[in-house]
Amino acid sequence: MTGSRTAPPPSQQWATLNRVQQELLLATYVLDQAAEAHERDAWSDGRRRRPAEEWRWHRFGYVDAGPGAPPGKVRAALDATTRRSRRLLTAPAELADLGLVDQRLEEVPQGSERWWQPQVRLLSLRMTTRGRRVARTSGVDDRNAGRPPRGLVSQWLWEVIVELWRAGPGGVPADTRWSAWQYLEGRKTGPLIERVALTAQTASRWKYAVAGAPGWALNDAGRDHYRRHFATYARVYPAVRAPDPTGRLTWPGEVDKHLSALGSVAWSLRQRLDDVIARREELQRDGARHEAPRCPTDQTPPVSAEAAHREVLRAAADALDADHWRQRTALLAEHEPVLRALVRTSAARHAAAAIAAICACIAGHEPTSAVIAAEPLPLDHDGRPADLPVLTTGLPGIDAELATRRAAALAASPPAAQRRGRGRRQPPATPSLEPAAVELSVYAAHLADLVAGGQLQRLLLRTDQQTDAAAPTTA
């Protein structure tokens, strides 16, 4: 194990790991943090907290087992490419040698499983303190809630305080969130809320509330707490949409509405294109019987006048169906290229507006005018964007995810065909009709979700060097 004095900085050590080692370390870290959060809520859920020795270990899987051995939680959390990699067999031992994880091998008693072998062992992994530090440098926690400094409240209570701030002096009904009122009123440093009578305007916003009913509102200390610690709370809990009392972090709702409308239009046009192509393919399957309708002169002479009349009516109906088929086929053939162009243009416009919102947020500019005035991105003959700007926020995890999605939008390769297993036959996957437009829309939707409600503004506070900043970690 590498000693703390000779170990390189966490960010440098993360960069020296290969892809399989990084994926394994992150998968173990995510499971470790989820288990820690579960144990942290034990008392509130009516459970007893267990020793860390019991829940810190996570099963990787069976080693030296026969075919068909079930994977552990760690191995199951990896993607298919990493699970098939030969480097995964040695990655746990390599991470243990670097002091990033501890590993434990347990004997497996003989059972009825076909994969059991005399030498089979159950491998479990446990994150070390050094391993958590190295994993965090990857930015895995960039969008997660952090641990608040001493004296500040949890995310759930912060959401309650934000609701009370929005309600103002009118208050919030007292018949909900009993534990929250009890905590906010009984704080050691003094209460943050006070009892009030609901006003008529406040009662109208609640389903069963009436004017004059008991309620809670922020007192002077609560409002001062909100103003003084808003920046820290916004940095620690970026997912909570809290209004900035200073007005500096105000995100215009018009931007979110505009991006949502562009995304809805792009999705609706793709659905219409899919429907048009499906109908055209259905008509093509029925085209054989419409290409050469039956003619009564080619048939055996009828034996009666009534049979001849029926034959004439049948031939007329076939001719009418064939004419209708030709008209529908021509109409769909005429509409399909128009819809394809609209699908590409809508995706390009959505992506351009989302990129403008991200750039304005990073630069600290007002985004409304830039988003509304954004022109569609230029596309090539296949519908792929000619280029996409590289977006950098300064948060490693978010920047890595943006780079991955940007590369997918530029490549826009069709989905890979599904491999056929030995079991029940799977239906063939339907390829995307406009893969470039679909990937570009997915990229734009991710950008729009990142800036929605000013989330990116609050995340960017984590890049500021302030003395009261809380580290964006959960351990």
Our CA dihedral for 112, 116, 121, 122, rounded to 10 degrees, sits at: -60
Per residue in 304-362, pLDDT (tens digit) is 777 776 777 777 777 777 766 677 777 777 778 888 899 999 999 999 999 999 999 99
Eight-state DSSP code of residue 73: H
Q: Is the pLDDT of residue 368 over 80?
A: yes
Per residue in 111-127, pLDDT (tens digit) is 767 788 888 889 999 99
Provide the pLDDT for residue 465: 39
Q: Which residues, in sequence order, are CB contacts of 27 under 8 Å at separation 6+?
A: 74, 77, 78
Which one is predicted more confidently, 182 or 285?
182
Distance separating alpha carbons of residues 48 and 45, to the nearest angstrom? 9
Our CA dihedral for 239, 242, 243, 248, rounded to 10 degrees, sits at: -40
Q: Is the pLDDT of residue 79 over 80?
A: yes
Residue pair 98/71 in contact (Cβ under 8 Å)? The answer is no
Most confident of 59-63, 64-68, 125-129, 428-432: 125-129
Provide the pLDDT for residue 221: 94
Between 93-107, 277-291, 332-346, the lowest mean confidence (pLDDT) is in 277-291
Query: Which residue has tokens 């200073």?
Result: 246
Query: Which residue has tokens 């699970």?
Result: 83
Q: Is the pLDDT of residue 475 over 50?
A: no
Provide the pLDDT for residue 430: 42
Q: Which residues, in sequence order, are CB contacts of 385 under 8 Å at separation 6+?
A: 348, 351, 377, 378, 379, 409, 410, 436, 440
Percentage of the chain beyond pLDDT 90 is 38
Helix H or strand E encompassing 197? strand 193-197
Which one is predicted more confidently, 442 or 68?
442
Which one is predicted more confidently, 127 or 295?
127
Distance separating alpha carbons of residues 429 and 416, to the nearest angstrom? 9
CA nearest neighbour of 100 among 18, 154, 171, 21 = 21
Q: Is the pLDDT of residue 443 over 50?
A: yes
Mean pLDDT of the chain: 83
Most confident of 5-9, 99-103, 206-210, 249-253: 99-103
Decide: helix, strand or coil at residue 180: helix
Decide: helix, strand or coil at residue 151: coil
pTM of the model: 0.69
pLDDT-based confidence at residue 166 (cuts at 50, 70, 90): very high
Residues 59-67, mean pLDDT to the nearest whole number: 85
Backbone angles phi, psi at 173, to 5 degrees: -50, 140
Provide the pLDDT for residue 275: 82
Distance separating alpha carbons of residues 148 and 167, to the nearest angstrom? 24
Q: Is the pLDDT of residue 144 over 60?
A: yes
Amino acid at 35: A
